[in-house]
Copies of this chain bind each other. A is one copy, B any other.
């Protein structure tokens, strides 16, 4: 199925807002084999919207629009859609009830602009937007469908996943079962992995597809399948997933789709272990990554950001002599930081980081990007050094990912 996406809004063309909806929609539809053939970003302008819709209907089976439905500017998009699909505005009682309910939950007053969200074209059917006030409008033209959705990512994503896409699948592929499995690989480049998997990948049945999704520090492999027979699909997916896991072998990081931080929390919780971090160059980012996961409090004791050497020695108990002779960015310092924070916070496991995040502070010996890291478990500690490329933010990100992955691997071996 070919899909064309039209992103509507002046705020996108002046660079005030970044469109992340179209990527989300593409990723959601990909496992079903639906392809986004075009994304067109247009201003809140009747003729531009109308032309974009006509071109998109020409090019694709399904057209999705996001945005342009706010209470202050919905007339433009609704009018442009009526210019294409016909109809006239009427006040829909169900939409009005939904608008009142959504506004009521937010504890704000319903003004006349928002109340007018209940005006919808007679030429569309409505999907009630439980997450916002702008109704989702479904238009048809021959075998083609256009769905007009709000632009607020929270609303678009929630409603597309739970209602819009299921409706479209029902309309265009009523008998297709879908499944997507993810596994994650580490310590291998994308091209080396692709070479290892190539002959297996070629042997996959035509209704299955492997996607490489590399990110800093790991590669996510997503196996997508779609088949008329749910049982046959599940049997084949189970078999191929096992084969893939075997082929990835020692490079396997996780056999499902979760962040390294979430993996770590699950692994620690299963073993009743607690964790703490001692951070210099990462400045608290490892701790922030762990605590960004709901439920982190079950395993996370705390962290010390020892940005100054005083805090390294005074709070974490690092030997000042070692800092003087080896430097703050060194193996013994991260070892002592990890041990110190575990002791201080009453944790069984720890991560420690000390590096040169730049742009200043580099030396010929320890250039910008040099980072010493340590992971500590009840089985012992391990420290190592990397030289990460990129700027300050990228060096910190890579350090966070690397240390979380390494601690996961160490905890798995316990």
- Chain B residue with Cβ nearest A213: B16
* Interface mask (A285-304 → B, CB under 8 Å = 1, otherwise 0): 11110111011110011111
Measured between alpha carbons, how far is A43 from B26 in the docked complex, in Å? 13
Q: Is the CB of A302 within 8 A of B296?
A: no
Given the complex, which residues of B lie within 8 Å of A396, measured CB to CB?
288, 292
A12 at the interface (CB under 8 A from B): yes
A360 at the interface (CB under 8 A from B): yes
With contact pairs A283-B291, A294-B359, A304-B302 given, residues A23 and B30 touching in the complex (Cβ less than 8 Å): no
- Tell me the smallest distance from the CB of A145 to a CB of chain B, in Å: 19
- Chain B residue with Cβ nearest A303: B305
Q: Is the CB of A305 within 8 A of B302?
A: yes
With contact pairs A283-B287, A303-B284 given, residues A13 and B41 touching in the complex (Cβ less than 8 Å): no
- Tell me the smallest distance from the CB of A64 to a CB of chain B, in Å: 13
A358 at the interface (CB under 8 A from B): yes
CB < 8 Å neighbour of A306 from B14, B302, B311: B302
With contact pairs A22-B15, A283-B291 given, residues A41 and B43 touching in the complex (Cβ less than 8 Å): no
- Chain B residue with Cβ nearest A3: B13
Given the complex, which residues of B lie within 8 Å of A35, measured CB to CB?
13
A119 at the interface (CB under 8 A from B): no
Given the complex, which residues of B lie within 8 Å of A292, measured CB to CB?
283, 392-393, 396
A143 at the interface (CB under 8 A from B): no
A86 at the interface (CB under 8 A from B): no
- Tell me the smallest distance from the CB of A110 to a CB of chain B, in Å: 17
Measured between alpha carbons, how far is A163 from B345 in the docked complex, in Å? 52
A282 at the interface (CB under 8 A from B): yes
* Interface mask (A44-76 → B, CB under 8 Å = 1, otherwise 0): 000010000000000000000000000000000
CB < 8 Å neighbour of A296 from B36, B48, B213, B283: B283
- Tell me the smallest distance from the CB of A302 to a CB of chain B, in Å: 4
Given the complex, which residues of B lie within 8 Å of A285, measured CB to CB?
284, 288
Q: Is the CB of A40 within 8 A of B40?
A: yes
Measured between alpha carbons, how far is A344 from B306 in the docked complex, in Å? 11
Q: Give 6 new A-B contacts, CB below 8 A, not counting A13-B36, A15-B36.
A: A13-B26, A13-B37, A15-B22, A38-B40, A279-B284, A310-B345
Q: Top 10 nearest A-B pairs by Cβ distance? A: A283-B291, A284-B284, A15-B26, A284-B287, A15-B23, A303-B305, A39-B41, A302-B311, A15-B27, A284-B288
Taking Cβ atoms with an 8 Å cutoff, the residues of A that contact B are: 7, 12-20, 22-27, 30, 35-43, 48, 211, 213, 274, 277, 279, 282-288, 290-292, 294-297, 300-308, 310-311, 314-315, 344-346, 358-361, 392-393, 396
Show 26 residue pairs from A and B whose CB-CB distance is below 8 angstroms, ordered by the A residue. Answer: A12-B39, A14-B30, A16-B27, A17-B23, A38-B43, A41-B41, A274-B308, A279-B284, A282-B288, A283-B296, A284-B287, A285-B288, A291-B305, A292-B392, A292-B396, A295-B360, A297-B307, A301-B311, A302-B304, A302-B306, A302-B307, A302-B315, A303-B304, A304-B305, A310-B346, A315-B344
